[in-house]
Structure 1
């Protein structure tokens, strides 16, 4: 499926032809800055449009969906509306809890009334939750700073999601959320990196 919405007057549409940086560290710094420069009005509009795109995904073969919990101070795309929508259509939701002194995340199921508190990285995590098997997860909504048109992702450099995705079943879908369109230039990938299978931006849903 492919959906297009015009945002020609918004800073959310970047001139990617001018971006020549393909190494992760440069891109990480650039896109952290770009995202923090977005105004509250731009963030609200972009989150609303990403939610519109999300509702058009076919979830008929997905029962359990992993959602990251957004870090507010980094202006991450919000997942709360996505989670409420999934509950409304009868789906189960999960998230990860960082295992101390490791690059592992314990997967837990979350519900409407789940309470959250921030960990050492300011990531909201469930206070109490039921552990689930990674093999149960059908789709993973992945945080990122940017990605290219081949599905190579730039995250925060800790590797939590690469470790997690390698443990998922082979046919799991990995969908990133971004306020910006995919880069034309190919990002320098490393052996341990796991590619995205799709990206939701305010403008459209990309399949890789």
Structure 2
């Protein structure tokens, strides 16, 4: 059964918000949640990830290091590794993200913006186009897969031009809005969104449970 919009989307009375206003509002919304609540939701989302068909079919997966209350997908790493998949994490290099294979979370250390990153090892690098599925964080999403992050554009530059089927967002259900997020030509969309309520395919006519 398809979820009702009122079961998915965060409701706002003013749909004419700018990207900056949306970003600020959703940062406050996330900060208002307790650490224990976010940890519980992250655990549920991680379970949805490892049990989803889109992850079962992927042989190479890019995760991210969660900061500032983002969905913590760290429990996914050992599960994917145990199933024989290669797992990559991003490293900030100038204005771009480069992805390096990681076998264990202990290989990550604080890098740009104090975010844990993998070491720069060309022998373990993969181009974004060669990774089957890239998991991205974000502050806010709409039904068509538009995304608002922190405004620096790293993931937009990384995933722009890729098939959206290769890009999946890990998000809390309260990070959805039922209006169209303002977007620009350089903004990249996600093809799927995974929340504690399931896996959804992003599309203009509404999210579809998959």
Report the TM range for the smaller structure's normalisation: 0.7 to 0.9
Give the alignment partner of residue 111 of structure 1, picking from 103, 112, 131. Answer: 103
Distance 1:53 1:19 in 2: 32
Equivalent residue number for residue 149 of structure 2: 155
Q: Gaps (5+ residues) in structure 2?
A: 203-210
Give the alignment partner of residue 26 of structure 2, picking from 31, 37, 40. Answer: 31
Give the alignment partner of residue 167 of structure 2, picking from 163, 174, 183. Answer: 174
Residues 76-134 of structure 1 deviation map (CA, whole Å, 9 limit, x = unaligned): 1101111122112221101111113xx21122111126522212312111235422233
Instruction: Compute the RMSD of aligned alpha carbons.
Output: 2.3
TM-score for both structures, normalised by structure 2: 0.83
Give the alignment partner of residue 59 of structure 2, picking from 63, 69, 79. Answer: 63
Aligned length: 195
Residues 151-193 of structure 1 deviation map (CA, whole Å, 9 limit, x = unaligned): 100011111111111264x365211111225211000111011
Structure 2 residue 37 is the aligned partner of structure 1 residue 42: yes
Displacement over 6 Å in runs of 4+: none
Q: Gaps (5+ residues) in structure 1?
A: none
CA contact (8 A) 1:70 1:78 kept: yes
Do the aligned partners of residues 205 and 131 (structure 1) sit closer, same or farther apart at CA in structure 2, a change above 3 Å counting?
Answer: same
Distance 2:14 2:80 in 1: 36
CA-CA distance at 1:61 after TM superposition: 3.0
Distance 1:136 1:114 in 2: 24
